[in-house]
Each structure stands twice: as C-alpha cells, then as structure tokens.
C-alpha cells in the first residue's frame, strides 16, 4: 500500500481519482487547493502525487517544482486539459514523470499510478534509460578499460574532442555510448558548459518535437538552447519519427550554414552527438531512417563494442564497481576469487556494462569474509541448469547467450580431450573410437601445426 496525494479543485474528478486509487489498495489524501496540498506534502510526504495544472490558488507547476526540490523521491503525475502540451513538457522538465490529459479513462490513471510506484521502487536509471550506469564508467574524467578497443576509442576522443563535427555512436544497449559521449564533452573546450541528453523513445512525438524545436505559438526552451555552448546527445536516434528526422536534418543544416558565416546564435552553439542501438544502415534499408540525416550526423562514426568482445575490461570494471559500492556503504571492497572471475570472464553479458554493475552489487550483498564466490553471483551469470536424465539430476554450467556453433565447437573439443585422456594420449585410438579420421581429429583440436610436422616426417 502506498500513500498518494491528489490535488484537484474539481470535486467530482477529485472524488473519482480518489476512489480509483483506493480500489488499488492505496491510502489517499485528497485536497482541492494548492495550499492544502503543500501543507499535506510537508506534513505527510506521499509516495506519489497527482496534481492538476490549474488549481486556482496555486499554479500546479509551482507545486511540482517545490515537490521535486524538497522531496525528490516523490513520483509526480500532472493532470492537464487538452491544448496544454507545452505545460506538460514544462512539468516533465520540473520533475513530473508522466502526465494525463483530461478527459482520461480511470484505467489509464491506474496504469500510470502503478508505473509511478514501480519507478519509485526501482533503482535509479541514467539518462539513457538502460541499466543503472549502463555505460563505460568514468574515473577522473576517463573511461575505464584496458582492452585495445577502449584504447582505440580513447585515441579517437583525443583527436576529435575540440572538433565540432557531429558524432554518431553505434553499439548495443548498455555498451557505454552515453559515457563515450560524456568523455568527448569532458575532453573538449565545451566541458564547462551543459551536457544534455534526450532519449527519443522517452516522449510522445508531439512532446519530442517541442523539446527539439520549440513551439510555433511560443518561445519555449529546447534542449539545444538549454545546452548552449555545450553538447547535446540524442539517444536512440533510430527511434526518432521520420517526420522529425526531416526537421532535424534541416535544423542541423542551418547550424552548419550559420557556423560557416559566423552567424551562429548562442542557442544553436552546440556539439551534436547521436547514438543508436541499431545499425542505421539497416534502418535506411528498411525505410525507417532518412539517408540524408544519416550522412549529416555520422561525420565521425564510433563503434562502441559490447562487453563480451573486450573480456580484458571485465575484471577492471568489476573491481571499479566493487570500490564504488564499498565507498557508498562505508565498507571494505570484497575481492573476487579466481573461480568467480573465470565465470565473469566467460559470461556473455547481454546487458553489457550495466548488467555487470548490477551483478557486482548483488554479489556484495551475498559475499562472506570479504570474498566473492561463484555462489554469490546472479544465477543467470553462473548459468547453473539442472537437467534430468534417466531419473538423475545433473547440474551443468551452460553458457546461455553463446552462439550455438561456438558452444558445439567447445563441447566437441572437450569431449575429444577427455577421450584422448581415456586412451592414454593415443590419437589413433581416439580417432578410431570417435569414428573420425586422424585429419579430422587434428582439425577439431586445432592441432594444424603438429599435423604439418608429422606430415614432414
């Protein structure tokens, strides 16, 4: 059961919303004035607040701003009438997580309340919407990692940091695109100016349009004006509606033209970075992304590799996350024993760096005597699967997420090795027992060099 505060000056609507929330099992405080709402907010801080934009005595936006500043954990839903989309955008800027437009169905209200309470109970996410800190971590302004791929990205950042050409970051969800963008910003001459992030899937199309380009009826702020002098990161650009893709292409062309003739207003003076979890070339072929916009935003393309392709970084990142957790909790960071590290290195990490951080946080909670063991890792990572065969249960470690052919190849090699041991190392006996030729045995074991030597004898 959650505590919900509802502020609306229309008695009938207030009564309906109250009963709807009570039917969900929540404790509801319903008031008809802004002053009563603010008093209740201070006296009995709710889990979620629903507030009408136009209350009468106090502007709903003022209540939202005050609540966000003084009670950041309270989830806020704004209720607005038709034609108040700009106010909805402003409410979300001030801290509301969602809004409802009158008239609305009570089922929509219940879904929104449920989502808000779920969001409150879920660990905070970063601007990208992926796992918490779902990106390459930063330490002293730099990316953490020892792999060649991370070193290559660092080298590119050094070269292009002060170049205002648009950058396109492509890579899987959670692979670290946002932190690459932040590293570009932090290494540039724009580092003291704002770094703003907008996720293309986070807002309805009409709100997204206002956030990007403003409104024709007013001079509302845009993400570009709020990032003046700094950097704008447009995440999940592959999900940007085609209609807005055309407007963005025209807007970026205007920025380029004005920059060339030294007529760039401060509100347009930004470094533009876009990211996509899906290859944009595939989107162009499917007709969901404009080719002219692609060439406009991909002047400097950077591929951010998934964690599974840079195993060297797993141990370094894991140690970093353990140190972060220890600092936050005032404890000593546990060590990872070699068996647990072997499992971490062998896991496929479909959730990439964010999944690794979550796994380390869980492991800290279960670790004993300052050491993380395989049993402390999430079951998905250890991949223990019970398989029943002839009424016997056997526990296997299955590398879920690995390509089938790769799994089969490794199992073949393991089986051949055990058969070789059984036959005292005799390759001839092993080949005969397995029903394959000597040449096939060498090939499957990766013994090409030894086979060539034997052929010369």
Report all structural domains of the chain as residue ranges with CATH numbers, in order of start. 3-121 (3.40.50.2300), 138-305 (3.40.50.300), 308-384 (1.10.8.60), 403-456 (1.10.10)
Residue 170 CB-density burial (10 A; 0-12 exposed, 13-18 middle, 19+ buried): buried
Find, among 37, 40, 46, the residue nearest to 8 by Cα.
37
Query: How confident is the model at residue 137, as a pLDDT?
Result: 39
Report pLDDT for 163: 87
DSSP H or E stretch at residue 51: strand 48-52
- Contact residues for 26 (Cβ-Cβ < 8 A; gap 6+): 1, 2, 3, 4, 113
Cα separation, 413 vs 421, in Å, equals 12
Has residue 169 got a pLDDT over 90? yes
Rounded to whole angstroms, the Cα distance separating 372 from 360 reads 9
- Model confidence pLDDT, tens digit, residues 90-128: 787 788 888 887 777 888 888 888 888 877 765 444 443
Q: Could you write out the three-class secondary structure of 308-377?
A: HHCCHHHHHHHHHHHHHHHHHHCCCCCEECHHHHHHHHHCCCCCHHHHHHHHHHHHHHHCECCEECHHHC
Tabulate helix, strand, coil % of the chain (nearest 5).
Answer: 50, 15, 35
User: What size, in residues, is the chain?
Assistant: 457
Lowest mean pLDDT among 136-140, 194-198, 206-210, 390-394: 136-140
Residue 220 is predicted with a pLDDT of: 61
Q: Average the pLDDT over each of 95-99, 130-134, 140-144, 250-254 and give the range with the smallest value.
A: 130-134
CA distance 430 to 422: 8
Q: For residue 231, what pLDDT is reported?
A: 95
Distance CA 124, CA 121 (A): 9
So what's the pLDDT on residue 260? 85
Query: What phi and psi values does residue 299 have, to the nearest 5 degrees?
Result: -60, -40
| Cβ neighbours of residue 331 closer than 8 Å, sequence gap 6 or more | 325
66 within 8 A of 95, measured Cβ to Cβ? no
Of 425, 423, 396, 427, the residue nearest 411 (C-alpha) = 396
Task: Report the distance separating Cα 272 and Cα 292, nearest Å.
Answer: 16
Closest-CA residue to 353 (of 95, 175, 127, 145)? 175
**94-103, 134-143, 406-415: segment of lowest average pLDDT:** 134-143
The mean of the pLDDT values for the chain is 83
| Cα–Cα distance for residue pair 58/311, rounded to 1 Å | 56
Tell me: pLDDT of 247 over 90: yes
User: Which residues sit opposite 301 in a β-bridge?
Assistant: 168
Q: Which residue, 316, 315, 308, 307, is CA-closest to 340?
A: 315
Among the listed ranges 183-187, 214-218, 287-291, which one has the minimum average pLDDT value? Answer: 214-218
**Would you state the pLDDT for residue 142?**
57
Whose CA is closest to 51, among 42, 60, 39?
Answer: 60
385: pLDDT strictly greater than 60: no
Q: Are 100 and 112 in contact (CB under 8 A)?
A: yes
């Amino acid at each position: 059961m959650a505590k919900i505060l509802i502020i609306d000056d229309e008695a009938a609507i207030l009564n309906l919303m109250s009963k709807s929330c009570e039917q969900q099992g929540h404790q509801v405080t319903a008031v008809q004035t802004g002053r009563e709402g603010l008093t209740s907010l201070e006296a009995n801080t709710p889990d979620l607040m629903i507030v009408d934009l136009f209350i009468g005595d106090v502007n709903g936006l003022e209540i939202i701003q005050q609540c966000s500043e003084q009670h950041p954990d309270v989830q806020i839903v704004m209720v607005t009438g038709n034609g108040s989309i700009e106010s909805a955008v402003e409410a979300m800027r001030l801290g509301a997580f969602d809004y409802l437009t009158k008239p609305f169905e009570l089922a929509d209200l219940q879904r929104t309340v449920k989502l808000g309470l779920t969001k409150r109970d879920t660990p905070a996410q970063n601007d990208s919407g992926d796992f918490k800190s779902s990106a390459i971590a930063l330490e002293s302004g730099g990316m953490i990692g020892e792999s060649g791929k991370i070193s290559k990205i660092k080298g590119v950042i050094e070269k292009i940091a002060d170049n205002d050409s648009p950058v396109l970051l492509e890579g899987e969800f959670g692979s670290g695109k946002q932190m690459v963008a932040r590293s570009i910003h932090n290494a540039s001459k724009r580092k003291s100016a704002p770094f703003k992030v907008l996720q293309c899937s986070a807002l309805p199309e009409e709100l997204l349009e206002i956030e990007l380009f403003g409104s024709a009826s007013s001079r509302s702020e845009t993400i570009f004006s709020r990032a003046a002098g700094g950097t704008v990161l447009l995440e999940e650009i592959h999900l940007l509606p085609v209609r807005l893709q055309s407007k963005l292409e025209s807007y970026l062309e205007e920025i380029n033209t004005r920059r060339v003739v030294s007529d760039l207003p401060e509100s347009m003076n930004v470094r533009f970075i876009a990211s996509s979890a899906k290859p944009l070339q595939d989107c162009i072929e499917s007709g969901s992304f404009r080719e002219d916009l692609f060439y406009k935003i991909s002047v400097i393309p950077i591929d951010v590799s998934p964690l599974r392709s840079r195993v060297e970084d797993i141990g370094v990142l894991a140690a970093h996350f353990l140190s972060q957790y220890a600092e936050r909790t005032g404890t000593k960071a546990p060590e990872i024993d070699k068996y647990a590290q072997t499992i971490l290195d062998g896991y496929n990490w479909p959730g990439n760096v964010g999944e690794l951080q979550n796994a380390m946080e869980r492991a800290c909670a279960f670790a004993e005597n300052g050491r993380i063991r395989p049993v402390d890792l999430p079951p998905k990572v250890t991949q223990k699967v019970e398989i029943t065969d002839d009424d016997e249960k056997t526990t296997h470690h299955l590398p879920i997420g690995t390509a089938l052919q790769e799994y089969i190849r490794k199992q073949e090699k393991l089986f051949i090795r055990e058969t070789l041991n059984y036959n005292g190392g005799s390759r001839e006996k092993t080949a005969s027992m397995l029903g394959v030729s000597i040449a096939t045995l060498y090939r499957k074991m990766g013994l090409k060099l030894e086979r060539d030597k034997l052929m010369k004898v």
